[in-house]
Structure 1
Amino acid sequence: MLFFFYGPDSFRVKRKVDAIIAGYKAKHKSGMNFRYFDFSQTGELDELKNFLGAFSMFQEKKLAVVENIFEADEDILAGFAEYLKKEGVFKTAESFLVVPQLLELNNDKKKKQKYSIKEGGAKNLFSLLTSKESQSEEFEFISGAKLEQWIKKEVERIGGKIDLNAARKLIEFAGADLWRLQNEIGKLAAYKNGEAITEGDIEEMVESKIETDIFKMIDALAARNKILAFKHLHRHLARGESEIYILTMLAYQFRNLILVKSEVEKGSQFGALAKKIKMHPFVLRKTFDQSKNFSFAALENIYEKLMETDIAVKSGRLESQAALDLLVAEIAG
């Protein structure tokens, strides 16, 4: 039987493969009939054939995990496809062949395909692996309500508690990267020791992802550097972050800028801001510095545009990516 797990979400692909391996090892104790094969190395197709074709002394089913399949040469890709068709790997109950494959989203709008897959053997093999004969499962990036539920379940899985408001706050601070979220969840759950994780805990313990992402885009917008602003925007999209998420993060930070600018124009110095505005220390410092690049009227105007764009996207009046492109172009001038 063949399982093909693919997509850009490396965390969930790995967790799925790890679950299959753990289940297999629980039933088949010898460990003699489980192997990894790395198709970026030479000779792995022949090794795989020999492994699956050899007689098992322990009367156990075999498990082979094939990695980096699309990094193989054209002749290996063709040979692997032919082997799958001829040897009945899709249907056999005597062995399990697991093929995990991370794929990058295609950013070339001229091409209709979803993923960046080379023409020829790789593309043909992908079609075969995602056919009805294969047990295939796609792992796309998750966002919105699905991401919030994932966080809630992940916290509960390790014995913790968190409500949806705190889950949303964690997304604001850590983003949608499941590897980082798992790490932050582990730290928060250990700190709370069975008690519910709160928004305050997240503000205190999690370093804001805005440090490396949204701040850079806003710096480019403030400098009226349209090319750099678009570069940062499309880097977010290439990582699988939804347009709604990006809009939310931009609105979050421009709201912070308005709060800080308002206090500064009233005469507040940086040292006094922390007492007046509840904000992560790093975010406060960066926001204070960025506020010098905007007038209060400009910030209000940008925030109004963000709200209008948000409504237009959610109501369906504008396509989400086109709306973001227009917004960035308008702000950067």
Structure 2
Amino acid sequence: GLNLLKFGADGFDLTKFRSQVLAVSMFAEKKLVVCDDFLTELNQDQQDNLLKFFEEAGLQNSSDTVVIFYESSLPDKKSKLFQFLIKNSQQWQNFELLTGSALESWIKQEVKQQGAEIEPAAVVGLASNIGSDLWRLHQEIAKLSVYVVKDEIIKWQEVDLLVDQRGFDNDIFKTIEALGRQDKKTV
């Protein structure tokens, strides 16, 4: 089995974190611990205490506990906690958002995988209207590929007609939360 623990920087409690991460299960389970924005949102004292915990806990040698740090913005690479994590990580990776020509190349490749072709103006239109949201780009390209007749090129006109230009965030969870708060503007 797998035991999933997810912690956010907002309202972080080291005592709770420590007890849950170090808790031993009756069953032989692996733990996946996800830490959201710890390097960018925790204050210096919290980071220092967390560093001390990781140094003492020895999780870097554990095959039963995997800790993932997810940062929504770039952390301070000079911080002690960041340096410790880099030094003691089995693997780390930085996922950069695609922009410019890399994004346009991705769009062309995705269109090709969908079995269609696209004109340069339509590529630029998709990139500028949607940006680096690859999931949404994939969905819009799939829609455009179905719309154009087989062997026809996706043109700027189809992008303008079919792609929602508003850039709305259709996150169902945010919508439900807004409904619960009776926030009609957000809904």
TM-score (ref. length: structure 1): 0.40
Contact 1:66 1:97 survives alignment (8 Å): yes
Residue identity opposite 2:93 in structure 1: E
Structure 1 unaligned blocks of 5 or more: 1-27, 105-114, 210-333
Cα distance, 1:154–1:103 mapped onto 2, change above 3 Å:
same
Contact 1:152 1:161 survives alignment (8 Å): no
Give 3-state SS (helix, strand or coil) of 1:174's partner.
helix
The CA deviation string for residues 94-137 of structure 1, in whole angstroms up to 9 with x for no partner, is: 11111101225xxxxxxxxxx6x39xxx8222222233635211
Query: For 1:101 and 1:161, how far apart are their aligned partners in 2?
Result: 35
2:42 corresponds in structure 1 to 72
Identity percentage over the alignment? 22
The CA deviation string for residues 307-330 of structure 1, in whole angstroms up to 9 with x for no partner, is: xxxxxxxxxxxxxxxxxxxxxxxx
1:142 corresponds in structure 2 to 98
CA RMSD of aligned residues (A): 3.3
Cα distance, 1:56–1:182 mapped onto 2, change above 3 Å:
same
Residue identity opposite 1:67 in structure 2: D
Contact 1:34 1:63 survives alignment (8 Å): yes
Quote the offset at 1:142 in angstroms.
2.3
Contact 1:35 1:65 survives alignment (8 Å): yes
2:154 to 198, 204, 207: 198
1:63 corresponds in structure 2 to 32
2:135 corresponds in structure 1 to 182
Query: For 1:145 and 1:174, how far apart are their aligned partners in 2?
Result: 10
Query: For 1:192 and 1:174, how far apart are their aligned partners in 2?
Result: 16
Query: For 2:60 and 2:115, how far apart are their aligned partners in 1?
Result: 41
Cα distance, 1:148–1:83 mapped onto 2, change above 3 Å:
same
Cα distance, 1:65–1:153 mapped onto 2, change above 3 Å:
farther
Contact 1:63 1:95 survives alignment (8 Å): yes
Query: For 1:65 and 1:87, how far apart are their aligned partners in 2?
Result: 16
Query: For 1:136 and 1:129, how far apart are their aligned partners in 2?
Result: 9
Q: How many residues align?
A: 160
Give 3-state SS (helix, strand or coil) of 1:136's partner.
coil
Residue identity opposite 1:193 in structure 2: V
Cα distance, 1:187–1:58 mapped onto 2, change above 3 Å:
same
From the two aligned structures, give the one with the greater helix fraction: 1
Give 3-state SS (helix, strand or coil) of 1:137's partner.
coil
Query: For 2:17 and 2:120, how far apart are their aligned partners in 1?
Result: 43
Give 3-state SS (helix, strand or coil) of 2:61's partner.
coil
Query: For 1:171 and 1:123, how far apart are their aligned partners in 2?
Result: 39
Contact 2:144 2:154 survives alignment (8 Å): no
Task: After TM superposition, list the pairs within 5 Å mapping 1:153-168 onto structure 2.
Answer: 154=110, 160-163=114-117, 165-166=118-119
TM-score (ref. length: structure 2): 0.66
Query: For 1:129 and 1:167, how far apart are their aligned partners in 2?
Result: 43
Residue identity opposite 1:183 in structure 2: R
Contact 2:98 2:132 survives alignment (8 Å): no
Give 3-state SS (helix, strand or coil) of 2:5's partner.
strand
Contact 1:64 1:96 survives alignment (8 Å): yes
